[in-house]
Amino acid sequence: MKDLKIKPLTKEQVIISIDRLTRFKPPEIKYLRVFYDILTNNLISPKFKKSELERMDYNEIRVLAEFVFNYSLKTFNINLDDDYIINQQLLDYENSIFIIDSETEKLLKNKINYKAALTLLDKEKLPINLKWLKSLLTSKNNILSRFESSLCYPLEKVVICEGITEETLLPKFAKILGYDFDKNGVYIISAGGKNQVVKLFYRLVDCLKIPIFVLLDHDAFDNYNEILPKLRDIDKVHVLKVGEFEDTLTSSLIEKTLKYATNNISYAPLDNINYSVSRVKYLEEFFKHRGLHEFKKAEFASLVKMNVSDMEDISDEIKVVINEIKNIKLFSK
């Protein structure tokens, strides 16, 4: 290792690396991405192309990457001791939620000095996975720590939905109903459409040990049938009874949201919203004819989130969905 020529990682690169290594993603994918980036960008000599790295043994990649990473930490005058408790906790955690082969385990059995790297973090602005990583330094009970600090990690179940509206509002609705996603390890992903939901489910179901809950719009029965053959006993799919997720929102909640959005100026009565074929089409027309900007689901979902106040704002079907997510569990056999 003494013959290596290294360009030290910057503080930003160190933080980006540990952030990517602790996100929810199949371990082999995320570890190789981070290690390849470190070696192609910060190992000056010997110089490896990505194609060369892809042919190397995982042990060799891991050893080189951890050396460059830890060498970089020394340039910040950080004391590097031989405390790798976090590394073992991450290995145990990844093994608890993912099916990991022996090759991938070589990447996970690294000696990246997380304890030293954590001293570089800005305490005020941390993504939730890095807050969790930092908690591993002191927590004796990760589940209790997750609940007390709303850390989401360690994850217990994954929710896949079609769009941003569900991703934005389901956690809010759940919290009002007394079930906090972050406290209970529920990770929600917006796939970006019903076809993408199927693709994502297929990618995850083959490598995950924890339950997957899939939420589909009413028109996605073909996609539901695609999912069924891969569905495990611990997984569940919910197909909405009517329309899109926006159609499950109560008319009173939509009315409150539109009043908020328009500040009660030129506000049209909403008596006919319950007779509209589609909530989305109604909202598109409302925004168009009220001289507002184009209706955008992400922005509207954020407005709805701000205006949800109690259980009366939540429809019966959404209550059923939240209850199904709450009750889906990994049963040991």
- Residue 140 forms part of a structural domain: no
**Closest by Cα among 126, 128, 92 to 108:** 92
* Secondary element (H or E) of residue 152: none
- Residue 60 forms part of a structural domain: yes
Based on the fold, state whether residues 170 and 81 are members of the same structural domain: no
Based on the fold, state whether residues 322 and 204 are members of the same structural domain: yes
- Residue 149 forms part of a structural domain: no
Based on the fold, state whether residues 63 and 181 are members of the same structural domain: no
β-strand pairing of 157-161 with 186-190: parallel
> How many Cα atoms sit within 13 Å of 56 on the Cβ side?
20
Tell me the mean pLDDT in the region 35-60: 96
Based on the fold, state whether residues 15 and 97 are members of the same structural domain: yes
Confidence (pLDDT) at 122: 82
- Residue 139 forms part of a structural domain: no
Percent of the chain with pLDDT strictly greater than 90: 78
Based on the fold, state whether residues 235 and 126 are members of the same structural domain: no
Token look-up 């790295």 returns 53
Based on the fold, state whether residues 161 and 193 are members of the same structural domain: yes
- Residue 61 forms part of a structural domain: yes
Confidence (pLDDT) at 286: 73
Is residue 94 within 8 Å of residue 108, measured between CB atoms? yes
Based on the fold, state whether residues 166 and 114 are members of the same structural domain: no
Residues 6+ positions from 309 with CB-CB distance below 8 Å:
none
> How many Cα atoms sit within 13 Å of 149 on the Cβ side?
20
**Cα–Cα distance list, 92 to 86, 142, 157, 158 (Å):** 10, 12, 17, 19
Confidence (pLDDT) at 332: 41
Residue pLDDT, tens place only, 230-246: 999 999 999 999 899 99
Using 50, 70 and 90 to split pLDDT, how confident is the model at 333? very low
Based on the fold, state whether residues 34 and 87 are members of the same structural domain: yes
Last residue of a domain, one of 118, 133, 148: 133
Confidence (pLDDT) at 15: 96
pLDDT at residue 205 is higher than 60 = yes
Confidence (pLDDT) at 284: 72
Tell me the mean pLDDT in the region 30-47: 97
- Residue 231 forms part of a structural domain: yes
Confidence (pLDDT) at 125: 81
- Residue 88 forms part of a structural domain: yes
Tell me the mean pLDDT in the region 210-218: 97
DSSP H helices in the chain: 11-21, 27-42, 50-53, 58-74, 85-97, 102-108, 114-117, 128-135, 142-149, 164-176, 194-205, 221-227, 251-262, 279-289, 297-307, 316-327
Range(s) of the domain holding residue 264: 246-308
Based on the fold, state whether residues 85 and 172 are members of the same structural domain: no
Residue pLDDT, tens place only, 297-317: 888 899 999 999 999 999 999
Residue pLDDT, tens place only, 55-104: 999 999 999 999 999 999 999 998 888 889 999 999 999 999 999 999 99
Read off the pTM: 0.90
> Which range is least confidently modeled, 7-11, 280-284, 304-308?
280-284
Confidence (pLDDT) at 128: 95
Last residue of a domain, one of 100, 133, 166: 133
Token look-up 């956690």 returns 171
C-alpha 317/C-alpha 238 separation (Å) is 10
Confidence (pLDDT) at 68: 97
Based on the fold, state whether residues 161 and 229 are members of the same structural domain: yes
Tokens describing residue 83: 């405390």
CATH number at residue 225: 3.40.50
**Cα–Cα distance list, 276 to 117, 217, 280, 285, 307 (Å):** 55, 17, 9, 11, 22
Based on the fold, state whether residues 187 and 322 are members of the same structural domain: yes
Based on the fold, state whether residues 115 and 256 are members of the same structural domain: no
- Residue 145 forms part of a structural domain: no
Using 50, 70 and 90 to split pLDDT, how confident is the model at 296? confident
Top-confidence residue, 285 or 216: 216
Cα three-residue angle 146-148-152, rounded to 5 degrees: 30
Is residue 78 within 8 Å of residue 14, measured between CB atoms? no
β-strand pairing of 236-239 with 186-190: unpaired
Tokens describing residue 132: 């969790």
Count up the domains in the chain and report the number: 3
Residue pLDDT, tens place only, 219-276: 999 999 999 999 999 999 999 998 999 999 998 998 898 888 777 555 555 546 655 6
Is residue 216 within 8 Å of residue 224, measured between CB atoms? yes
pLDDT at residue 165 is higher than 70 = yes
Average pLDDT of every residue of the chain:
91
